[in-house]
């Protein structure tokens, strides 16, 4: 079992070291740090040929071996291949090769066509042409790209509308908060009003008491004048 793991890792590692072999046979017409585009592309085809030729058991063994993807590009590309292998279908042919140089690095991209989905194999080299990264990525169709973009747009706009609705509800609730605060303030500021004292009500004199008083006065006047109560009439009484 240990020998098998070492053998598989050696096969993949040979793909990473193939560039040193190319250096021995490069000619004066090379344009990328002493290498032609065809020579650089050979690494791409080697790594993909190796991955295609591995069985699921071989890939699982390498994956179980584990390791840091950032430190070991081999582990990274094997994990990516295991993830996408089932959706590719049968291999058909290799496509175009693109070589770009920027900031002291050289990137070699090559497409590989499968029955269900194409992939892009990329090698990244530093200024000394040492491999710093390897990747195998899916190539999405225009319809898939547009659908994904539309989904992202819908999710983004939906999130914005939800937040706007939430903010509107919060602002709408402010008027109830202000009304409650104003009501509490008015209640505290209003002075205590003393209860009104009802005015005294004069009791009306009874008509019977007035008649008795008139009779008494009339008798007194008649006695004082020596006349009869029939000779005069008491029309009003003024109290002092």
Residue 94 CB partners (closer than 8 Å, separation 6+) = 44, 45, 48, 110, 111, 112, 113
**What pTM was estimated for this model as a whole?**
0.51
- The residue among 235 and 146 whose pLDDT is bigger is 146
At residue 165, the pLDDT reads 92
At residue 160, the pLDDT reads 92
- The residue among 194 and 237 whose pLDDT is bigger is 237
At residue 9, the pLDDT reads 52
Instruction: Identify the H or E element spanning 137.
Output: strand 131-138
3-state secondary structure of 191: coil
Mean pLDDT for 140-165 is 87
Is a pLDDT exceeding 60 seen at residue 17? Answer: no
3-state secondary structure of 111: strand
Is a pLDDT exceeding 50 seen at residue 21? Answer: no
CA angle 40, 45, 50 (to 5 degrees): 130
Q: Cα separation of 192 and 195, whole Å? A: 9
> Would you state the structure tokens that stand for residue 224, as one six-digit string?
């004082």
Q: In b/e form, how buried is each residue of 88-97, taking b as 16+ CB within 10 angstroms? A: beeeeebbeb
Instruction: Identify the H or E element spanning 110.
Output: strand 105-114
pLDDT digits 0-9 by tens, 25-51: 445 456 777 788 888 888 888 888 888
Query: How many percent of the chain have pLDDT more than 90?
Result: 5
Is a pLDDT exceeding 60 seen at residue 166? Answer: yes
pLDDT digits 0-9 by tens, 183-197: 777 777 655 555 566
At residue 25, the pLDDT reads 46
Mean per-residue pLDDT of the chain:
75
Q: Write down the residue that tokens 């050289």 correspond to.
A: 106
Is a pLDDT exceeding 80 seen at residue 206? Answer: no
Is a pLDDT exceeding 50 seen at residue 20? Answer: no
Mean pLDDT for 88-101 is 89
At residue 114, the pLDDT reads 92
pLDDT band at 162 (very low <50, low <70, confident <90, very high): very high
Q: Write down the residue that tokens 């791409």 correspond to.
A: 44
């Amino acid at each position: 079992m240990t020998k098998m793991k070492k053998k598989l890792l050696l096969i993949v590692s040979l793909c990473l070291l193939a560039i040193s072999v190319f250096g021995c046979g490069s000619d004066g017409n090379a344009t990328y740090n002493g290498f032609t585009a065809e020579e650089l592309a050979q690494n791409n085809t080697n790594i993909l040929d190796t991955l295609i030729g591995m069985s699921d058991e071989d890939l699982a063994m390498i994956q179980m071996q584990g390791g840091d993807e950032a430190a070991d590009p081999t582990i990274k590309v094997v994990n990516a291949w295991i993830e996408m292998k089932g959706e590719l279908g049968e291999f058909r042919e290799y496509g175009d090769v693109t070589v770009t140089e920027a900031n002291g690095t050289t990137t070699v991209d090559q497409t590989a066509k499968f029955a269900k989905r194409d992939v892009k194999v990329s090698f990244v080299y530093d200024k000394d042409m040492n491999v710093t990264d390897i990747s195998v990525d899916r190539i999405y169709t225009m319809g898939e790209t547009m659908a994904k973009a539309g989904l992202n747009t819908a999710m983004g706009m939906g999130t914005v509308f939800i937040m706007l609705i939430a903010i509107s509800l919060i602002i709408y609730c402010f008027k109830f908060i202000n009304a409650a605060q104003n009501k509490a303030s008015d209640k505290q500021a209003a002075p205590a009003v003393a209860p009104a004292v009802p005015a005294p009500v004069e009791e009306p004199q009874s008509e019977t008491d007035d008649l008795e008083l008139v009779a008494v006065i009339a008798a007194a006047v008649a006695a004082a004048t020596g006349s009869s109560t029939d000779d005069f009439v008491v029309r009003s009484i003024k109290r002092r």
